[in-house]
């Protein structure tokens, strides 16, 4: 059973959540509450500021990627990305170290700013990490799109809890994490959050193609003879002269090894994005979704499962409050517990399951939604998709991502378990991990 502290916190959490959901329902009837631009966080949310320095092994930055909406991403870049791919001779006075990375390559790192460390300048000049112009010694890391939880109406990609979790994932998996700040309900109901998730995947592909174009432009200038000084720093820009190429991703991201990870309702978004990626196929090139992780997905249905009957009043998120959240997310005309966004087992839901990527499902013993998540995983295994289920005893919904539970041994173990499984699909050939 969960500890007394968890039980007490659950009572307080449910009281506060119910109050907020009821307020949202009352305000959702007002036409002014609908806002196409949308919101990605709430005033009551504790937010962590981005930090472009590798103070704890991960640098972060926020990017607003859609001028018409509030859709944004927070990039989590692990310091391991700065380790050169090939050993090189260190310049005099520059410390160099050799270490083995998680992809099996022995690499050499340098503490010089030119090798990728944060610029040591003073004044008003940007002091965060900025990749070197050559980028020749940079490592390419896989990319993880992370979708936070919060029952559609709360949570954010830059909350203190989500920031901590994404930093943990970036370091454990040796991966670049893009935490998606999708639009919240009821200001933006279904399918806004789902479309935002897929829009970020397409944006990742666009970034990869723009980076390749930028690289080609640089090569053509170098091979075309004398290069004018004014052309050295030319790059692709938009109509306002701002660079369209995100330098961290252009230098370090390998979108051909892309993983989706969703937490609670974010798992529903991840599953939708995986399906859309299958539908569009090669139009996403060079992005390839190689695996997805569904952490205690927010699945529901009109025919209750055993866990929905026995644990309807479970910890933190009980069934009654989750139904309120679904009423805020789905329009009144569309509301149904068997809506394709809610129930993964309804027929005719999308591409055949046999085309789905390998899917790891995380469930908690004291979570009323667990049985439907397990049933979905079983359906995937029936069509030979690698779809293991990890069930954690005495655990509750969001046991590895909720603010007060993030530092528990169980949350740490869950992160390590995810990293072990994910590395099977993101490691370079010849260095796969067993699971």
How far is Cα 63 from Cα 78, in angstroms, rounded to an integer? 17
Catalytic residue among 148, 172, 252, 397: 397
> Buried b vs exposed e over 315-349: b needs ≥16 C-beta within 10 Å?
bbbbbebbebbbbbbbeeeebebebbbbbbeeeee
The closest of 66, 76, 13, 14 to 40, measured between CA atoms, is 66
Q: Are 227 and 305 in contact (CB under 8 A)?
A: no
Residues near 122 by beta carbon (within 8 Å), at least 6 away in sequence: none
How far is Cα 413 from Cα 410, in angstroms, rounded to an integer? 5
Q: Give the CA distances from residue 377 to residues 268, 279, 358, 367, in Å, rounded to whole numbers and listed in that order.
A: 13, 20, 10, 16
How far is Cα 366 from Cα 349, in angstroms, rounded to an integer? 28
Catalytic residue among 367, 371, 377, 417: 367
Active site residue 397: yes
Alpha helices in 264-368 (DSSP H): 265-280, 306-310, 319-329
Q: Are 122 and 174 in contact (CB under 8 A)?
A: no
Catalytic residue among 264, 307, 314, 377: 264
Q: At what angle do helices 319-329 and 4-28 cross, to 10 degrees?
A: 30
Active site residues: 264, 367, 397
């Amino acid at each position: 059973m969960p500890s007394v502290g968890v039980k007490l916190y659950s009572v307080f959490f449910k009281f506060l959540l119910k109050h907020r959901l009821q307020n949202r329902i009352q305000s959702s009837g007002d036409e002014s509450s609908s806002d196409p631009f949308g919101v990605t966080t709430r005033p009551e949310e504790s937010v962590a500021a981005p930090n472009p320095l590798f103070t704890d092994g991960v640098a972060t930055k926020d990017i607003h990627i859609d001028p018409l909406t509030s859709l944004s991403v927070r990039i989590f870049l692990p310091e391991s990305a700065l380790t050169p791919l090939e050993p090189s001779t260190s310049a005099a006075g520059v410390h160099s170290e050799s270490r083995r990375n998680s992809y099996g390559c022995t690499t050499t790192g340098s503490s010089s700013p030119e090798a990728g460390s944060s610029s040591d300048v003073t004044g008003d000049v940007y002091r965060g990490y900025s990749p070197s112009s050559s980028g020749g010694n940079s490592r390419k890391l896989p990319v993880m799109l992370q979708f936070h939880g919060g029952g559609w109406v709360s949570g954010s990609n830059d909350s203190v809890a989500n920031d901590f979790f994404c930093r943990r994932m970036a370091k454990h998996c040796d991966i670049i994490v893009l935490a998606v700040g999708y639009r919240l309900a009821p200001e933006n109901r279904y399918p806004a959050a789902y479309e935002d998730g897929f829009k970020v995947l397409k944006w990742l592909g666009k970034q990869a193609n723009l980076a390749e174009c930028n690289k080609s432009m640089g090569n053509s200038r170098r091979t075309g003879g004398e290069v004018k000084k004014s052309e050295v720093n030319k790059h692709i820009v938009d109509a306002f002269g701002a660079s369209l190429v995100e330098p961290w991703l252009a230098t370090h991201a390998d979108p051909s090894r892309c993983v989706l990870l969703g937490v609670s309702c974010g798992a529903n978004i991840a599953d939708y994005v995986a399906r859309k990626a299958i539908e569009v196929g090669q139009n996403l090139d060079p992005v390839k979704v190689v695996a997805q992780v569904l952490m205690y997905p927010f699945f529901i249905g009109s025919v209750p499962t055993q866990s929905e009957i026995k644990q309807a009043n479970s910890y933190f998120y009980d069934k009654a409050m989750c139904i309120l959240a679904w009423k805020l997310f789905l329009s009144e005309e569309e509301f149904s517990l068997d809506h394709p966004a809610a129930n993964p087992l309804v027929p005719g839901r999308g591409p055949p399951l046999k085309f789905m990527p390998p899917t790891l499902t995380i469930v908690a013993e004291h979570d009323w939604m667990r049985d439907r998540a397990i049933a979905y995983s079983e359906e995937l295994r029936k069509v030979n998709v690698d779809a293991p289920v990890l069930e954690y005893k005495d655990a509750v919904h969001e046991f590895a991502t909720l603010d007060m539970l993030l530092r528990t041994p169980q949350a740490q173990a869950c992160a390590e378990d995810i990293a072990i499984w994910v590395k099977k699909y993101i490691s370079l050939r010849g260095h796969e991990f067993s699971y």
